[in-house]
Amino acid sequence: MKYLGHTTMMALLVLTVPFAVGVRAQDARGTDAVSNKASQAKVDYCKTCHGLQGQGYRGASTMPRLAGQQPEYIENQLSAFTERRRENKFMYSVSHVLSPAMRKALAEHFSALNPKPLGGAPKGLVAAGKLIYEEGIPKSDVSPCASCHGADAKGDGQFPRLAGQLHDYIFAKLVNWDKERGLDSNNPDASAIMQPIAHNLTKDQISAVAAYLSYLD
């Protein structure tokens, strides 16, 4: 979650924003494993890249929105980074030091946030993206996105929230799907369902869907 190009600037901003984290996660033995102080420190660290309210950040690289994300999905993806099933040059170093209890605490914290989307996508693409999201593309064997992510695009359990996600982030992930996701075919997760969909969408179609989703609250 730490991106070197803007870490110092964001860290200074974080220090000026008072914020209390009241999450105390439980480990497998049922003991209190994460203190407020420890979870606050990790949240502040995450916010240096993902924004003060988890809204995402555009810099030299686009950092995804975590706010409002399904907690189960966040935990699953942190595990995927740790186990090298998902590739990201920053996230392995972040995720592999987190205990299961800390992952849970972070997931619950960010899932509770609800800032306004950053937007910024071409609005002329929104209508086409909405149609693909709601109806799919039958001739390309692309199911409606809403069938897994929900009519409001807020996700469900292991299926992630897409509403308000940065459009350039969605585009980059779908276009580069095989380079970053499902890297251990013997240990797949729910995201495996996306591989054929990512392949069957054109770049123009991906851009349209991403634009539509980026404006949803």
Cα–Cα separations (whole angstroms), residue 29 to 21, 25, 71: 22, 11, 20
d(CA 102, CA 26): 9
How crowded is the C-beta side of 197, counted as CA atoms within 13 Å? 20
d(CA 63, CA 45): 14
pTM equals 0.84
The candidate with the shortest Cα–Cα distance to 67, out of 38, 94, 42, 47, is: 47
Strand partners, 137: 142
d(CA 45, CA 171): 26
Residue type, 82: T
Residue type, 58: R
Residue 21 backbone dihedrals phi, psi, to 5 degrees? -110, 120
Residue 199 backbone dihedrals phi, psi, to 5 degrees? -70, -35
The candidate with the shortest Cα–Cα distance to 190, out of 113, 105, 86, 56, is: 86
d(CA 42, CA 106): 8
φ/ψ bin of 124: left (φ > 0), alpha (ψ from -120 to 50), beta (otherwise): alpha
The domains of the chain, with CATH numbers, are: 7-111 (1.10.760.10), 123-214 (1.10.760.10)
Cα–Cα separations (whole angstroms), residue 151 to 39, 134, 146, 207: 33, 7, 5, 19
Q: What is the pLDDT along the chain (217 residues), one digit of tens a residue?
A: 444 444 434 433 433 333 334 444 444 434 457 999 999 999 999 999 999 999 999 998 999 999 999 999 999 999 999 999 999 989 999 999 999 999 999 999 999 999 999 999 999 999 999 999 999 999 999 999 999 999 999 999 999 999 999 999 999 999 999 999 999 999 988 899 999 999 999 999 999 999 999 999 9
d(CA 212, CA 124): 10
Cα 168 off chain centre by: 13
